[in-house]
Amino acid sequence: PAAGVDFCSNDYLGLRRDPRLAEAAAAAAHEHGSGAGGARLLRGTTPLHDELEAALAHWKGTEACLLFNTGFQANATLIPALAGTGDAVFSDALNHASLVDGCRLARAGGAHLGLYRHLDLTDLAAQLAAWRASAPAEALALVATDAVFSMDGDAADLPALLELCDRHGALLLIDEAHATGLLGADGAGLAQHQGVHGRMPLVTGTLGKALGAFGAFVCCDALLREHLLNTARGFIFSTALPPPVVGAALMGVRLARAEPWRRERALAHAAHLRHALGQAQAPSAIVPVPVGPDAEAMRLAARLQAHGFDVRAVRPPTVPEGSARLRITTGAHLEASQVLALVEALALEAPGA
């Protein structure tokens, strides 16, 4: 159950309780029904689905977009739909579980799987070069990475990754789940923040974090969308997102773009918290507090909840053994005074934090 002021959800822009999303959901339900009634290739597509896909593609700077029901489903479905026998996928060692499982499914389908050290592009380049030396010229090399990593809030170097992938003839897939709505001039994500907006060939993301709704998307070119439409099993064999969810998500996209104060406030809170904790700055609203032992992380979380702050401990297997931590997130719903009060409670309960 919730325990105090929210410092643990992914509701970065404070939109999940915005009445405008609720009103958009209600309007969509009245017009299109409470459920989609079938998969997208049958009866499940409404004009709202098409409108949301067009809005997301425009925002991300791609030709096309395809909605999925969850971010896990999108990543786990997308990768094996692209890479199979004779191909290769290369995954950052700290990627989200959905990317990890997508890569494992591709390996089960005959693809080579390479794990490169976290954010280590020298290691990735060496693995790509070694694989390319013996692979057929037409074989696909897919590099998959989180844009912002969910446990530490650090970010990939997208310009360098693009250059490396171009050099080795690889396709780059980035998951902007924790960047969409928060980063860039109008919240389009890390690619926009790092100056490579519109150059990403394959972008996944979620509608259930900063956008306040539910579901996920893959943004890509029109040809790749057509391929996924006919090969991505998680898309083909799933009932479409309900119209009320799609209506709420569409409103979330509009508000994320139109109200920049939301992301500015969420990121300012995170910067303040990192500064107070003596941490290096990072382009995200995720602030980890390393603890180590599982029991100590649980104790600290319980003590902060007793002070009125909903902070949660993250333990193995979500993070490696011995690296349990508090995963603190900030959002537009917070007041500066609440961030300051959390800093004071952390100093009291975890003097070394």
As annotated, the active-site residues are 150, 178, 209
Helix axes of 336-349 and 261-276: crossing angle, nearest 10 degrees = 20
The rounded distance, in Å, linking the Cα atoms of 39 and 95 is 29
CB neighbourhood size of 282 (10 A): 19
* Cα-Cα-Cα-Cα dihedral sign, residues 39, 228, 71, 105: positive
Q: Is residue 3 helix, strand or coil?
A: coil
Query: Cβ(309)–Cβ(4) under 8 Å?
Result: yes
For strands 324-329 and 286-292, give the pairing: antiparallel
Cis preceding linkage at 317, omega within 30: yes
Concatenated DSSP letters for 8-31?
SSS-TTS-TT-HHHHHHHHHHHHH
Which H or E run contains 6?
strand 5-6
Choose among 165, 156, 148: nearest CA to 201: 165
Query: Cβ(241)–Cβ(36) under 8 Å?
Result: yes
- Here the tokens at position 336 are 């500066």
